[in-house]
Amino acid sequence: MSSRVLCFVFLLLCIFPAIAFALHLPLTLTHFDANDPSRDPYQILSYLASSSLARAHHLKNPQITATATSDATTTSPLFSHSYGGYSISLSFGTPPQILPFVMDTGSDFVWFPCTHRYVCKNCSFSPSSDQNVTIPSFIPKLSSSSRLVGCRNPKCSWVHHTNKTQCDECRNSLTPQNCTQACPPYFLLYGSGTTAGVVLSETLNLGDRTVSNFLVGCSIFSSRQPAGIAGFGRGLPSLPTQLKLHKFSYCLISRRFDDSPSSSTLILDSTSDLDRKTNGLIYTPFIKNPIVRGKEAFQVYYYVGLRKITVGGRRVKVPHKFLSPGKNGNGGTIVDSGSAFTFMAREIFEPLAVEFVKQVKNYSRARDVEVLTGLRPCFDVKDMGKPVELPELRLHFKGGAEIALPLENYFAVVGEGMACLTVVTDGGVGGGKAVVGHSGPAIVLGSFQMQNYYVEYDLRNQRLGLKPQLCI
């Protein structure tokens, strides 16, 4: 695949010449084709479970990119997608070109599908289809503001996570001061997918505002990435950092595993009062990120202090070392909009699952459904003649913040009345060898658990705000 990526990069290079506010955006879910037979609910759950686990593997063992202001508030629609992400539409270029982007708080780079030659393998919205799909792409030749980023540009080092310049060819030049070498291509991993391309300086259009010299990736080859990604993490190239946001917030609409034009709102805010709290929100502070050589991605994540977990009011016995990140980067809890289902290390998940099984007396275990979905425990809740009742799952955070998750946020009811816990761990159903081990975050809070919650990332005051709210 690397030779093909480089080929596309060289083709892309040939088409270029040498070289603070708040926004409300719609946020939506990505949906499978309603006419696709792969919309079997068990298959969808299995797909989301496996993709969430693959995402957790990447977040716990990240591989960094490889070489081959204004004073207004803005909102935008936020759309949900059945493959696991929520997307927004952003406008780049002169004149503007509008494209969808998956909102991802677990990464810090913004990139879009790019040029007429863009290729995306295994990017169908259907989890079982291997057919290629046509994906809207940005055309640099149609934008007068597109520029390749040079290797001497400090922003080039943002992409490659190094303080060194990326001018290898210039070092061997007789006149290095006149070197016009471009920033080297990037290659990114996202757990279940990849993307590769070159770095551009482009104009980002936000409502009636324009942001010049915005660093963005022009991807010409991707695998299993059906849209561009807008990284909202803590790194220098992330969208919040480049826009100098004070805070951003969103409310995730419910996942119903069907097609829907509904959207909620993403708010980008660079004008909020420094210490003022949003009415109705409970806050927990962000925890200091571990600094681990070779795992610089850990510094991008949003760590929060999860103190304990209770099921039906009973505390789940979790070893303390898993609740707080150590100097080696192991342990702790992060919030990740790019994960569908929450991941928990086996040492946390097993006592959690045991507690649910112990407390659920009125429903039988559905082990055959567990095999189909890759989730456990699952229960047969059909034909009971009354609403489904399962133990409450409550998360307790530092600072006194607590959230009692609605039942639909941690159990998915599928088929003819089968309810499965939407938390994944290593080893799959029935156990097995763990492949992640204790590396990286022990808990990754996914978007399924955050649906119908207003979530605020207060970047100036380093805290996360939460409150239950009907998003649609």
Residues assigned a catalytic role: 104, 336
Residue 174 backbone class (left: φ over 0; alpha: ψ -120 to 50; beta: rest): alpha
Tokens 């686990």 appear where? 53
Distance, CA of 397 to CA of 120 (rounded, Å): 40
Q: 157 with 112: CB under 8 angstroms?
A: no
Instruction: Report the alpha-carbon distance of residue 340 to residue 129 in Å, rounded.
Output: 20
Backbone torsions φ then ψ of 227, nearest 5 degrees: -160, 165
416/314 Cα distance (integer angstroms)? 30
- Contact between residue 92 and residue 264 where contact means Cβ atoms under 8 Å apart: no
| Cα-based torsion angle of the residue sequence 444, 447, 452, 456 in order, rounded to the nearest 10 degrees | 70
Q: Find where tokens 């239950």 sit.
A: 468
Tokens encoding 357: 């099984």
Closest among 267, 231, 255, 240 to 111, alpha carbons compared: 231
